[in-house]
Amino acid sequence: MVSDDDLTYKLPGANATLGQLLIDLGDIQGVYTHSFETLELDWAHRQLPPPSPVTVANLRVWFDMQDAAMKAALDAFTVDELQVDRINRGEGFIASPFVQHKIYREAVYIFYGRLSVYLRALERDAGPSWMAWVG
């Protein structure tokens, strides 16, 4: 839906390029993956270095690796362990892996809202499924 040239698109003001927005999502995924592995949420952690150069093809490979790492981290839990509060999110907030994944999912939803703005600005139609799901 987007091209390599689109990745350099930047909304006015202090906004990231579309490519940086995608890298930010990958970094957040890495933070959450790391939290499943270590049981500590560390916002400074980056699971995988961002692709260089930032191209659609390189982003696809990078996200495939991010997805595989998260799946492996989640697969390490038994069904019962998913419900035990054990991930330290800081400031006394301890979450189960199940809740931690729900919080991550909310971050992804926020990203989709941001991405929708970029797609509209680029005059890209994400299709009926996107409209039904994201709006």
List, in order of start, the domains of the chain with CATH numbers: 5-133 (1.20.120.450)
Q: For residues 92 and 121, what is the distance between their CA atoms, to the nearest angstrom? A: 41
Model confidence, pTM: 0.93
The DSSP element (H or E) to which 112 belongs, if any, is helix 97-121
Q: Is the predicted pLDDT of residue 135 greater than 80, yes or no?
A: no
Q: Which residues contact 38 (CB under 8 A, 6 or more apart)?
A: none
Closest CA relative to residue 69, chosen from 23, 26, 33, 27 = 33
CB environment 57-69: b (16+ within 10 A), e (fewer): ebbeebbeebeeb
Tokens (6 digits) for 87: 């991930």
Q: Is the predicted pLDDT of residue 47 greater than 90, yes or no?
A: no
Backbone angles phi, psi at 94, to 5 degrees: -110, 125
Query: How many residues are recorded in the chain?
Result: 135
Give tens-digit pLDDT for 100-132.
999 999 999 999 999 999 999 999 998 899 888
- Residue 94 — pLDDT band, cuts 50, 70, 90? very high
Strand boundaries in the chain, DSSP class E: 87-88, 94-95
